[in-house]
Structure formats: C-alpha cells, structure tokens
Structure 1
Amino acid sequence: MASLGKDALDASRRPASGMLMGRLSALMFMQFFVWGAWNVTLGLVMQTVGIGSLIANAFSVGPIASIAGSFLLGMAATRYLSPRALMVALHLVGGAILLAMPLLVKPETGGTFVWLLLGYMILYMPTVGLANTIALKSFGERADRFPFVRAFGTLGWIVAGLIIGWMGLSASPEIFRVAAIVSIALGLYSLTLPNVEPDAPRDAGLVRQVLCVEAFGLMRQRSYLIFILAATLISVPLAMYYAYASAYLGAAGIENVGGTMAIGQMSELVFMFSMPWLYRRFGVKPLLLVGMAAWALRYALFAIGDGGGSLWAIYLGVALHGVCYDFFFVAGAIYTGTIASPKGVNAQAQGMLTLFTYGVGMLLGSQIGGLLYAQLPAAQTIADWQHMWWYPAIAAAVIAVLFQLFFQDDSRGEAAA
C-alpha cells in the first residue's frame, strides 16, 4: 500500500517538471520525424526509380500494420512488457531495417522491398501508441498537457520534410537512411524515458479487449454508426493523397517536394491547438462537414493545378491539409471520446476508430488509388494527373452530402442527460 501511495504521489508531481515536458516533447519529435522522413515522398521515390506500379502496395502496408501491429503489440504486449522496453527494442530493430531499405528500392527487388516495408511498419505502428502511453501515464492527472507535447510530433514531421527537401533527397531512396539514424537515436534515447508500468489486466479478457468488443457496441447508436461509415469512406481519398501527392508535385515541376508537403503539416499544427475550442463552439457536425468539404476542394484544386499559371492551386491544396485532417479526424477522435467515455470504453473506441480509418479505409484507398494510377500512361503528363484527381474530389463531395443528410449529432443531448 505504501508503494502504491508513493507511485500516485510521483505521478502527481511529474507534470510539474519542465524537464519532463522537454523529455516527452523530444520523444514525440523523434517519433514522427522517423515516419515523416520517408513517408511523405516515398511515392515520388518509387516512381523515379521505376517501381511506380508498386506504390499502392507500399502504401497498403501501413493500414495492414495498423491493424496487426497496433492491436497485437500495442494492446496485448503492453499488458506484460514495459512500454519503455518495447520502445527501445522496436526502434532499434526498426532502425536496422531502415538502413537496409535503400538497397532494395529498385525494379529487380521491388517486391522484396514492399514485404520488408510491411515488416518494418508492423514494428513501427505500435510505437505511436506506446509513445502516447508513456506521455499520458507520466503526466498522471495532468493529461491536459498532452496536446502540447503531441504537437511536437507534428513539428517533427514538418522538420523531417524540410530537411529531406533541403538535402535534395525528395526523390532518393536515401530518405530511409535519414529515418534510420533518427530511429536508432530514438531507441537509445528511450532508455532514459520514464519507466511507466504496463496496463493492468482487465476483467473483460485479453481477446475481448484486442477485438474491441465493447467499443463495437457503440455502433448500435445510429449517429455513431453513420460517423464510422463516413470516417471509413473519407479515409479512401486520404490514402490517395499520402500515396500519390508527392509524385504529382514532382510531375508539376516542384523540386522541393518534401518542403512543399510540409506546408500541410504546418497548417495542421495551427488548427490542432484551436480544435478543442472549435468543437465546444460549433459541435461535431459542422466541423466534420467542413473537413469533408475541404477534402473535395483539395482534390479539385489538384485537378486544375499545373506547373504553370495554376501552380497556386497545388500549394493551396497542400495547405488545406490542416482543415482536411483536423476538422475531420481530430474532431472525430473528440466525438468518439464523448460517446465512449460514459461507457468506459474510450481506449477501445479510439482503437476501433483507428481500425476503420487508418486500417480499412486507407487500405481500400491505397488499392483503389493503385487501380487509378495503373490507368495512367507510362510517361505521365500533368494532364493525366489532373484527370485522376477528379475521382477522389467527386467521392469526397458525395460522402459530405450523404453525411449532411443522414447524420444527426446527439452527443450533446446524451452528455446533458
């Protein structure tokens, strides 16, 4: 009992330390730097080396890993192993894999590259949840400080893109070596992180938690079911942006693709801090609608943008990322918490939302995008790319209209009740 009292006292004191804030901010910065260093321009790299036909498969491994890795390692293994120990092991092994990646990014070993990327992402995806777990448990009751620390993750993604662009590596397989160096550094740095305890086993049982059985029950509410369907569908065009935007920017004649793509994350950072206030002020439905409309507008801008007088449309489309992402996915996470918290299944519900968006939705989007990309000629022109972007633009607009017609926000009424 004395030990439990001491642990609780330590947890309450930790947030008061500016040193702890700095340590956790550095954790988030490196965590997302590793991902952003290679993910942003991978499509351009693959097209440049002649394996553009495999872009869809390469961007399908993330959703698959999000399902397999995050649930099996992130939710199960952390019940028995220290999150810090897992961070050390996963980032060190992942860094070694990243070092080998550039040797395989070529036509004769393209298939092997995709399989190795899948193996790497199964290791990496759980570390996102592990980093969040370490930060939240370290803050104890002051979890309200988490958004500030998490913002450094977005900053790390931005800096990674800027560095890749500044080094002239946007179209080079060497992006993986940059990520590898930071991954190994993060693995070593993780040795110094707070050694928070694994989650205590719950009475619900491991299988029920991993499969989010209680969270799936939330979809008995019509409003939440419609939201989940819309979130899954809107993730389809989202996947096309991640997979093909960098190749499109390269075709438009933009040289610093990594730096240009970072503009989107800069806008994301701005809206992330304002999202709690906007949610309280306007409620969930207006924010979700604005987010979906922004996706449609972004792709329409890509469909009219070129390397000449309409270059502004491309930059504006990239800059809309903050509205596209925060107004739908961040607001959606807050809405999910509002629905799930009274039932005590918030963590499961957030995992279920990740399953449908970053898992099912983005997997479908990667494969559908691959089918559309396969229709482009071998030597694509900017006109070919413009034609392709109309498909996700129309899809996002249709989803927004259907959402407006059928979604009714009842979360405020339930909260009041």
Structure 2
Amino acid sequence: MGITSRLKIMSFLQYFIWGSWLVTLGSYMINTLHFSGANVGMVYSSKGLAAIIMPGIMGIIADKWLRAERAYMLCHLVCAGMLLYATTVTDPDTMFWVMLINAMAYMPTIALSNSISYSCLAQAGKDPVTAFPPVRVFGTLGFILAMWTVSLMGLELSSTQLFIAAGASLLLSSYALTLPKIPVAEKRVATTLISKLGLDAFVLFKNPRMAIFFLFAMMLGAVLQITNVFGNPFLHDFARDPAFAESFVVKYPSILLSVSQMAEVGFILTIPFFLKRYGIKTVMLMSMLAWTLRFGFFAFGDPSPTGVVLLLMSMIVYGCAFDFFNISGSVFVEQEVSSTIRASAQGLFMTMVNGVGAWVGSILSGMAVDYFSVEGVKDWQTIWLLFAAYTLALAAIFAVCFKYQHKPEALAAQSLTH
C-alpha cells in the first residue's frame, strides 16, 4: 500500500473518532444523564482549555525527544482509555475531568497528524502542498461516516457512542506503530513553548488591525462552539412534540447535521475566488452573516415539510460560516505577518479560535440555554435568535472597526512571488 493511501487511513480514523461523539455527546448528557446546559457547556469547554495548552507542549516533545508517530500513538492510547472510562461516568464534575484528559491527549493529535502527513509525503518525494489536501479530505469523510453510524444505529442518546470512539482510538493507536519513522529534528525554528503557543506573535496586537482581527476570530470561535454543543440536543428536543416524534429529524439528527460538513467541502473550494476578488474583510463579513442565517434558520426550522427546508438551509450556510472565517482567516494571517513569526501567528490564531473562543463559547452558551429553560423545557427559538443577534452585531461592529482596503493587484503580485 502506498504512503498516500496509508495516510488517508490515518486521517479517516483521526476524525472518525471525533465524529463519533463531538456533536452527539451533548444530547447524551442532557437527555440520558440529565445534565444542565451549564454542565454540558462545562464539559465541552475542556476542548478549548486543552487547545490552549497541549498542542504546544506536545509539539515540543515531538520536536525534541519523541518521534512524532510514537507521540501520536501514545496520545490515542490515552484517548481510548479516557473515552472508555467516560462510558461509566454519570456526574458532570467527573465527566469534565475525564473529557479534559481526553481532550489534552486528542487535541495535539490534530497537529501531529498534519506533521506526520507532511513528513511522510516529503520522504516519499511528493509535494505536500498538492498531495496533502486529498489526504485531509478523508478526515472529513471519516467525521461524516461516524455521525451517520452513530445516528443510524440509534446511539445518539447512548454511551455506546463513546465505546465506538474508544475502539477507533485504540485501532488508530495500533495503526500508528506501522507508520514510517519521523526523525526528531536536531534544530527547528520555533521549538520553544512561547513560540509554539504563538506568544511571540503577541507583538501583532500592537497593530490595531491585527488586534481587531484576532479579537473577532476569538468571538467567532465562541460561535462555532455553540453550534457544536447544542445543535444536536436542539434537534432531539423536537421529540417533545408528538407530531414530530417519529420524524427523520428526530430519529437521525446527526445525518442532517452532517450536511454541514458536506457543505464545508464545497465552500472551501470557493475561498481563493472570494479572497482574491473581495478581500478578507468582505469574506469575514460573509461568514458572520452566514452565522446569523445559520441560527435564524434554526430558530424557525422544524421537522415539518416547510420547516425542514429551513433546517437544511441552516446546514448549507454552515459551510460558508465555518470556512470563510476559519480557513480564510488562516490564509489572511499567512499573508499579513512576517515570515519570522508566521508559525507563531498561526499558533495564536488557533489558540484564539479553538482555545479561548471555544472555552468562552462553551461556558456562555450553556448559561444562555439554562437561562431560557423552564423545568427542563428549552425555548430554542429565543436561544437561536439571541445567538443570531450576537453574530449580526459582530458583523456590524467588525464592518466599522476593521480597517482594510482590498488590493487585488497586490495580492496577485504576491501570489506570483510564492
């Protein structure tokens, strides 16, 4: 089997693990374990905390002391153990600590899987820039298949989803032993913890435009976490209405939500066109307005023939909402910063979005859901309209505060020099 095929298997399993529980664990905790919205938000905040701390630490370990594929194997072995233990947990405090340890092991594997792929492709004489995207897309396919598997098997409210994730983690841990050796670098740029965490890129906050960009990246990271945590529980709650209890939306919400990931694949292909033609400010505004539509369609959607169209539209605009700030933001950082802090700036962008933003989004969204709940019944329409108003306000403030003049000719000239 060629190295590209082997890496596709790794990428598939990497995101199959996450897809097995990321969008459905909230429903399990709310409906089966009867956790409050704040409890669920607290558990999901573990991902944000881990994203702030662990990728940098593990990056240093993989750089200096332990080969990347071995670090990758050990991380997934820890994940398997924690996910297995999580199947026995019934109280929110313990669940938080178990999922925090799991996240501290899992979050670094995202960067490690990328590093392993780039290194293996380079060793095989392939151009990583062109060879990596076809590998990474198998991760999206794995995420989608996991969501479909859990949904079609009726496991969204069961701890069995965690057994599936644990089994996949154990399989990937074993599979990592077969990967090519990734040599430990004797010298590598930005191997200190400060650089890995993007802290030396904090000099960018002296630039008002970049400071505003990173601040809004954090606030959009919070928005992303809201939909990850409560999208699935929202769809499950339609079971309270006897008219919808047997609907496709209630029975298989993860299948409906997987349309969001499918839309990502389509929208990511349009990013070069929109960035070159309209620039980062317009693209980010499009993302914020797409988030507003995402929540607005949720607010008025339901499993009825008309309402399900709104739900589908919410899934489709998610592709624009996610890609146009996450992927485009990363490209913008790459273009704007000095090459001496480029890696650190990307680390800072990840920390703001997937670390601080995710942590804040988890906590505050859980509090909001509880505030608009009466005796366990959630006023989802008000909740989603509140989030829609939040993203619309973000768009208005960003339009005024972010000073950016798009110069297509300069961008074209820059792309020719790379």
Whole-Å separation in 2 of the counterparts to 1:245 and 1:188: 33
Whole-Å separation in 2 of the counterparts to 1:75 and 1:409: 35
Q: What's 1:13 paired with?
A: none
Q: 1:76 to 1:226 in 2, by over 3 A?
A: farther
- Residues 258-302 of structure 1 deviation map (CA, whole Å, 9 limit, x = unaligned): 211111101111222332343334322221111111001111111
SS of the counterpart of 1:310? helix
Whole-Å separation in 1 of the counterparts to 2:361 and 2:185: 33
Q: 1:21 to 1:275 in 2, by over 3 A?
A: farther
Q: What's 2:331 paired with?
A: 334
Q: 1:361 to 1:135 in 2, by over 3 A?
A: same
1:102 Cα deviation after fit: 1.3
Q: What's 1:396 paired with?
A: 391
Whole-Å separation in 1 of the counterparts to 2:387 and 2:148: 27
Q: What's 1:125 paired with?
A: 107
Determine if the alignment matches structure 1 residue 290 to structure 2 residue 286: yes
Q: What's 1:19 paired with?
A: 2
Whole-Å separation in 2 of the counterparts to 1:76 and 1:351: 16
- Residues 230-260 of structure 1 deviation map (CA, whole Å, 9 limit, x = unaligned): 1111222221111111100111242102211
Whole-Å separation in 2 of the counterparts to 1:227 and 1:206: 25
- Residues 117-148 of structure 1 deviation map (CA, whole Å, 9 limit, x = unaligned): 11111011000000000111222371212222
1:203 Cα deviation after fit: 7.0
Q: Which amino acid aligns with 1:187?
A: S
Q: Which amino acid aligns with 2:14?
A: Q
SS of the counterpart of 2:171? helix
- Residues 170-197 of structure 1 deviation map (CA, whole Å, 9 limit, x = unaligned): 1111111111111111111111222222
The structure 2 residue matched to 1:256, chosen from 243, 247, 252, is 252
Compare 400-409 and 205-214 and name the one that shifted more.
205-214
The structure 2 residue matched to 1:312, chosen from 294, 298, 309, is 309
Q: CA contact under 8 A between 2:199 and 2:348: conserved in structure 1?
A: no
SS of the counterpart of 1:154? helix
Whole-Å separation in 1 of the counterparts to 2:4 and 2:274: 26
Q: What's 1:15 paired with?
A: none
Q: What's 1:113 paired with?
A: 95
Determine if the alignment matches structure 1 residue 175 to structure 2 residue 170: no
Determine if the alignment matches structure 1 residue 39 to structure 2 residue 22: yes
Whole-Å separation in 2 of the counterparts to 1:47 and 1:203: 45
Structure 1 segment 129-144 matched on structure 2, within 5 A: 129-140=111-122, 142-144=127-129
Whole-Å separation in 2 of the counterparts to 1:95 and 1:294: 36
1:153 Cα deviation after fit: 1.1
Determine if the alignment matches structure 1 residue 220 to structure 2 residue 206: yes
Whole-Å separation in 1 of the counterparts to 2:302 and 2:278: 36
SS of the counterpart of 1:322? helix
Structure 1 segment 231-250 matched on structure 2, within 5 A: 231-250=217-236
Determine if the alignment matches structure 1 residue 210 to structure 2 residue 207: no
Q: What's 1:161 paired with?
A: 147
Aligned sequence identity (%)? 29
1:150 Cα deviation after fit: 1.2
SS of the counterpart of 2:2? helix
The structure 2 residue matched to 1:52, chosen from 15, 22, 36, is 36
Q: What's 1:6 paired with?
A: none
Q: What's 2:243 paired with?
A: none
Q: What's 1:92 paired with?
A: 77
Aligned length, in residue pairs: 394
Whole-Å separation in 1 of the counterparts to 2:324 and 2:406: 17
Determine if the alignment matches structure 1 residue 406 to structure 2 residue 406: no
**Consecutive unaligned residues in structure 1, runs of 5 or more:** 1-17
Whole-Å separation in 2 of the counterparts to 1:167 and 1:143: 37
Q: CA contact under 8 A between 1:102 and 1:177: conserved in structure 2?
A: yes
1:211 Cα deviation after fit: 4.2
Whole-Å separation in 1 of the counterparts to 2:196 and 2:157: 39
Q: CA contact under 8 A between 2:36 and 2:370: conserved in structure 1?
A: no
Q: Which amino acid aligns with 1:319?
A: I
Q: CA contact under 8 A between 1:164 and 1:259: conserved in structure 2?
A: no
Q: Which amino acid aligns with 1:371?
A: M
SS of the counterpart of 2:269? helix
Structure 1 segment 373-384 matched on structure 2, within 5 A: 373-375=369-371, 376-380=373-377, 384=379
Determine if the alignment matches structure 1 residue 346 to structure 2 residue 332: no
Q: What's 1:387 paired with?
A: 382
Q: 1:166 to 1:207 in 2, by over 3 A?
A: closer
**Consecutive unaligned residues in structure 2, runs of 5 or more:** 240-249
Q: 1:226 to 1:321 in 2, by over 3 A?
A: same
Q: 1:213 to 1:371 in 2, by over 3 A?
A: closer
Q: 1:398 to 1:75 in 2, by over 3 A?
A: farther
